[in-house]
Amino acid sequence: MLNCPYWDDADRQAAENARNFTELAEIAIRILQRMKAINPEIIMIAGPMWSGLLSPEENHKIFEKATKAFVSMGYHVFKQMPFQEAMKRIQKDHGYEYPNKELLEEFYGVIFATGLIKKLAFVPGYSHSFGALWEYDECPKHGIIRKVLPKNYLKTLALGKKIRGL
């Protein structure tokens, strides 16, 4: 798992015990508030996680690479990956089917509504994901700037260049 410096032991325990997506959103909001105290310009990477053209494992690797690249360039990135196990467990416990509108509305919708996430960076291939398309459509409702990343974004970041619009 990626280094998640804004998580504490209480957050990890709360995520393990969360019974629904709203409880997970409350944890995310606490983490985002800690992040905001350091730097209010928080971005989130968006794209396929469990669907799309690639396997979930490949999608997760894309998220990890993107997050590491953005963090290395000084971007302040909210990391979704630590929530994935709890999300899968809650989805199974409640019998939710994919695509899971409950997850989108009760987790992402709640955190977007706080205004704590300022920008969403959409990885190439995001348009093959129901969830990423939902996030794309939600951004304007919450004043979130959306940026579709070019195919060469990792190379751009590796060269020490920022992504225009982020």
- Residue-wise pLDDT for 27-59, tens only, equals 999 999 999 999 999 999 998 876 666 677 887
Domain boundaries, the chain: 9-158
As a CATH number, domain 9-158 is: 3.40.50.10400
> 78, 35 in Cβ contact below 8 A?
yes
- Residue-wise pLDDT for 58-74, tens only, equals 877 888 888 888 998 88
User: What token pair was written down for 84?
Assistant: 């994935």
Percent of the chain past pLDDT 90, that is, above it, reads 55
Residue 76 dihedral angles phi and psi, to the nearest 5°: -100, 100
Alpha carbon distance 56, 51 (integer Å): 7
Q: Measured between alpha carbons, how far is residue 95 from residues 84, 90, 104 in Å?
A: 16, 8, 15
